[in-house]
Amino acid sequence: MHLVAMAAGFALILMGLFAALTHRNILRMIVGFTLANTGVHVVLVSVGYMPGRAAPILDDAVPVAEAAARIIDPVPQALVLTAIVIGLGITALMLAYAYRLFRARGSLDIADYTELKW
């Protein structure tokens, strides 16, 4: 099961990068980056998964004394929580810059921005 999740995550990364690299519209590129970002999260969470174990919450199902033998790795989940928040910040920044570019040039086509081209 975790291999399916991991493969889906890798597929999302590749799809997102493909979208970001081939589309000309800046908004579509942002959607591509967000897809790739989600893929990274899925891969990270699936790395922490261990078959037959419970979520890292010490309730009735997981007694404190047996916790180390019963729960999955909590560290990747904590990492992904951080990554989701930072990813959201990056997406908001990209959208704000896209808006400024549109205001400055009246276009969201990346081909119209030739200053950094060589």
Partner 1 sequence: MNTRFSIRHAAVLGLLALLGLAFWTLLAGYTPDAELNRTAAYYAENTARETGAQNIVTAIIVTYRGLDTLGEVTVLFLTAAIVALVLGQSKAPRGGTGSGFLPSGELLTTGTRMLLPIILLFGAYVALNGHLTPGGGFQGGAILASGMLLMLLADPARRFGHRLIARVESVSGLAYVAIGVLGVALAGGFLDNRILPLGEFGAILSAGAIPLIYALVGLKVGAEFSSMLESLEETEDS
Helical packing angle, 74-105 and 26-47, nearest 10°: 180
**Is there a contact between 56 and 72 (Cβ–Cβ < 8 Å)?**
yes
Q: Which helix (H) or strand (E) holds 19?
A: helix 2-22
Q: What's the closest the beta carbon of residue 88 comes to partner 1, in angstroms?
A: 8
Q: What's the closest the beta carbon of residue 97 comes to partner 1, in angstroms?
A: 6
Query: Which positions from 43 through 102 interact with partner 1, judged by CB under 8 A?
Result: 49-51, 55-59, 64, 67-69, 71, 73-75, 77-78, 81-82, 84-86, 88-90, 92-93, 95-97, 99-100
Whose tokens are 């419970």? That residue is 54
Return the bridge partners of 25, or none.
109
Q: What's the closest the beta carbon of residue 114 comes to partner 1, in angstroms?
A: 15
Q: What does the CA dihedral 21, 23, 26, 32 come to, rounded to 10 degrees?
A: -60
Query: Which positions from 26 through 45 interact with partner 1, judged by CB under 8 A?
Result: none
Residue 116 in the binding site for partner 1 (CB under 8 A): no
**Is there a contact between 56 and 77 (Cβ–Cβ < 8 Å)?**
yes
Residues of the shown chain interacting with partner 1 in the complex, contacts defined by CB under 8 A:
2-3, 6-7, 10, 13-14, 17-18, 21-22, 49-51, 55-59, 64, 67-69, 71, 73-75, 77-78, 81-82, 84-86, 88-90, 92-93, 95-97, 99-100, 103
